[in-house]
Amino acid sequence: MNAPIISRQSCQLEDVGAYLDGELAGVSLETFEAHLKTCVDCAAELRAQRQLLCTLDVAFNESCPFELPRDFTRVVAAHAENDLSGVSKKGERRRALQLCAILALLSFALLGAAARTLVFDPVRSFLRVVGGLLNLLWQTVYDAVTGIAVIVRVVGRAIVLGPHGLGLFLTLVFIVSISLLSLLIARYHRAQIIE
């Protein structure tokens, strides 16, 4: 009873395509052929893909080739250059966008489950990574602002409520003004040299 469950879990449908294309060889070929004898799902998938290949072969072999007129490209190019009536209409872009959206929905519907793995899973993964980066950036900015607020509050409380708070505050203002004064003097001298 456990053997069919184990074989179903080891099914890999891409092996069916590789088997049909002749890409399996040696041990992997023998293993897959042995698996086909026990797995109904893989055998059904192999049968369905063989039927599809036969249908495609018949459809492409029955179509008879046709010849284009010898001046076909010149005529098409002339018509394309002369017929610009669709470009001048205002609703042309909206109509083209609607047509593209309809074609995209039809292609996703025809792809079925493959559309989820081919399109939606990578987009979801990308959005998850971008969300994580934005969350990290937000958390970093929030923590930095919170830390600065705590430091300013502690220093402000020490200056205001301390025994020599006013003197310490005036000393801090004096040091900042002296450093700004030296910066202004340096800029003034640079401006004099340039002139």
Sort 16 into a burial class: Cβ within 10 Å, 0-12 / 13-18 / 19+.
buried
**Mean pLDDT for the stretch of residues 108-124:** 73
User: Measured between alpha carbons, how far is residue 98 from residues 54, 89, 91, 101, 135 in Å?
Assistant: 36, 15, 11, 5, 35
Locus of tokens 């490209």: 73
Sort 15 into a burial class: Cβ within 10 Å, 0-12 / 13-18 / 19+.
buried
Calculate what percentage of the chain has a pLDDT beyond 70.
82
Q: HSE-up of 70 (CA within 13 Å, CB side)?
A: 0
State residue 114's pLDDT score: 66
For CA atoms 183, 189, 193, 195, give the dihedral sign.
Answer: positive
What distance in Å separates the CA atoms of residue 24 and residue 35, rounded to the nearest whole number? 13
**Mean pLDDT for the stretch of residues 59-70:** 68
Predicted confidence band of residue 67 (pLDDT cuts 50, 70, 90): confident
Q: Residues 16, 45: contact at Cβ < 8 Å?
A: yes
Residue 10 pLDDT > 70:
no
The string of DSSP codes covering 152-175 is HHHHHHHHHHSTTHHHHHHHHHHH
**Mean pLDDT for the stretch of residues 64-93:** 70
pLDDT in tens, 135-172: 999 999 999 999 999 988 887 777 667 677 677 778 88
Residue 83 pLDDT > 50:
yes
User: Measured between alpha carbons, how far is residue 18 from residues 13, 39, 52 in Å?
Assistant: 9, 17, 15
Q: How much is the pTM? A: 0.31
What distance in Å separates the CA atoms of residue 16 and residue 48, rounded to the nearest whole number? 10
Residue 49 pLDDT > 90:
no
